[in-house]
Chain A
């Protein structure tokens, strides 16, 4: 960021004014509150991704089972037709 104030003495004086910080307990409290929200969200996401993983595994397992069952039925039919 370019400071355009360097060309203007009035704005330079404003720029030189001291900054202030919020009280230490407030800083700590706000940071802790934000951390709590971030951690809770992260845990929710992890939990959600765990549930989603189980769901995907279940669907894939079920489809594999259907495929194998279908293959077995076809094999039995073929054998019966040959005999």
Chain B
């Protein structure tokens, strides 16, 4: 941390290697668009290098980076919302999900694709907590800090995400099994 605050590029590289793919995966699953995820990722790193000097020595970089990335995502959603309301489209609080995320397109197995689809179909407020806890291995309290909510709310959202996901996977499994059942 001290080396990063001093502006050492080697220290930056170490942080970059550790978090770049993780941040990109998080952002891409939130925003479901590769190019936009890359833009937000770049902005996240630029925020780090411009704010590194002012960071406290006990700052935990992982949560800090995920907080910045998540806030940038929310700002992006808000700006898109304004843009779309200006254009006269009917919209909700969050942007509508596109047809297929980069993950769904490249999912190796059917089950993987099904889970990717189910994750992508979750409301973003549930998806962000799920990704932080299940994929990043954070505690719900840490995810809560990143999302700016209470730990109880994070746990509630995680449970709701988990239930929706299980239901969605089961539903898809049932609907996909139906044609073969009809044949028999």
User: Using a CB–CB distance below 8 Å, which chain A residues touch chain B?
Assistant: 1-5, 8, 10-15, 17-23, 26-27, 29-31, 33-35, 37-39, 41-42, 45
Contacts and interface: CB of A to CB of B under 8 A. Distances in A.
B165 interface: yes
Interface of B: 6-9, 12-13, 16, 20-22, 24-25, 28, 37-38, 41-42, 45-46, 48-50, 52-53, 102-103, 106, 108, 111-112, 115-116, 119, 130-131, 133-140, 142, 162, 165-166, 169
> What 7 A-B pairs have minimum CB-CB distances, sorted nearest first?
A14-B134, A19-B25, A42-B7, A11-B134, A38-B7, A3-B137, A34-B49
A34 B53 contact: no
A39 to B, nearest CB: 7
Contact of A22 (B7, B38, B142): B38
B139 A4 contact: yes
Given A11-B162, A17-B103, A30 B133 contact: no
B47 to A, nearest CB: 10
Contacts of A42: 6-7
Given A34-B46, A39-B9, A14 B21 contact: no
A1 B12 CA distance: 22
Contacts of A27: 20
Nearest to B142: A1
A7 to B, nearest CB: 11
A26 B7 contact: no
Contacts of B25: 19-20
27 contacts: A1-B136, A1-B142, A2-B139, A4-B139, A10-B165, A10-B166, A11-B130, A11-B134, A14-B134, A15-B134, A17-B116, A17-B119, A20-B28, A20-B106, A21-B20, A21-B21, A22-B21, A22-B37, A23-B38, A26-B38, A34-B49, A35-B12, A37-B46, A38-B52, A41-B7, A41-B53, A42-B6
